[in-house]
Amino acid sequence: MEQKQNTTTHFGYKTVDAEQKASLVADVFHSVAAKYDVMNDLMSMGIHRLWKRQTIASSGVRKGHKVLDLAGGTGDLTAKFSQIIGETGQVILGDINDSMLKVGREKLRNLGLVGNIEYVQMNAEALPFPDNTFDIITIAFGLRNVTDKSKALASMHRVLKPGGRLLVLEFSKPNSEALAKIYDFYSFNILPTMGKVIANDSESYQYLAESIRMHPDQETLKEMMNEVGFEQTTYQNLTGGIVALHRGFKF
């Protein structure tokens, strides 16, 4: 009889069984979903809106495009894409967490955005779409929570159309030591306290801080994208490298 091989991965700074990570991450986002938008504005002092605006500007999105906003959460990018692609386009807000999807659906419907948006619960490692489906895929602040990042990137490459592009907006490594020290102090002292006061949940925000530190740096992520087939892969550091926007094409 073939013996099952146990594999482990990181959940923040903890080492856990790989099969457990998805449910552990799900618990985090079930917990933070209701206060997610409020905390985003507080944690980033509103700067996350500029990072997302740069992602939209770098996407090349046009009327009629088909877009996948993966790990789209409460739908900030989906809302913008919906307005740009028009009636002939389609944007799918995909997320593995049904609590986040529910918050996103309610928010976008309250904005009157209903005609060209679909909501699909999905795992980034096994996207439920045919090959060559999308013109653009974005994943903003979601890749670091995926168990097998290379598998997810390969799945994204598969469902992109030839000529399509992937944009990965994610926390990364500050490009100066002084900024890194300030950022560490903020992440591990201020952030969990804010989570406790605003969302009554310090542990989830402790995990979010740890998950950022365990995420691949800019060059490593670029190479991971290249390895699964992306070409002309580049990245742009935002806010001193606290966040990086990676872009790659499928040809």
* pLDDT, tens digit (0-9, with 9 covering 90-100), for 191-228: 888 888 877 878 888 888 899 988 999 999 999 999 99
Average pLDDT, the chain: 91
Residue 187 CA to residue 181 CA, distance in Å, equals 10
Straight-line distance from the first to the last Cα atom of the chain, in angstroms, rounded to the nearest whole number: 43
235 has which bridge partners? Answer: 246
Q: Is 86 helix (H, G, I), strand (E, B) or coil?
A: coil
Do 208 and 186 contact (CB within 8 A), yes or no? no
Residue 73 domain-assigned (yes or no): yes
For residue 56, give both structure tokens: 């939209």
Q: Is 239 helix (H, G, I), strand (E, B) or coil?
A: coil
How far are the Cα atoms of 23, 72, 133, 206, 248 from residue 162, in angstroms, in the given order? 34, 23, 9, 40, 12
Binned at pLDDT 50, 70 and 90, residue 6 comes out as low
Binding-site entries for S-adenosyl-L-methionine: 74, 95, 123-124
Among 17-21, 129-133, 175-179, 234-238, name the one with the lowest average pLDDT. Answer: 17-21
Residue 211 CA to residue 94 CA, distance in Å, equals 21
pLDDT in tens, 36-70: 778 788 888 899 999 999 999 999 999 999 999 99
Domain assignment of residue 22, given as a range: 16-175+207-250
Residue 134 domain-assigned (yes or no): yes
In total, how many domains does the chain have? 1
Residue 7 domain-assigned (yes or no): no
* pLDDT score recorded for residue 5: 52
Residue 239 domain-assigned (yes or no): yes
- Tell me the whole-structure pTM to 2 decimals: 0.89
Residue 191 domain-assigned (yes or no): no
Residue 192 domain-assigned (yes or no): no
Binding-site entries: 74, 95, 123-124
* Nearby residues of 37 by Cβ (< 8 Å), 6 or more positions away: 74, 103, 107
Q: Is 92 helix (H, G, I), strand (E, B) or coil?
A: strand
Half-sphere exposure of 205 (CA within 13 A, CB side): 25
CATH number of the domain where residue 64 is located: 3.40.50.150
Residue 242 domain-assigned (yes or no): yes
pLDDT in tens, 31-43: 777 777 787 888 8
Residue 10 domain-assigned (yes or no): no
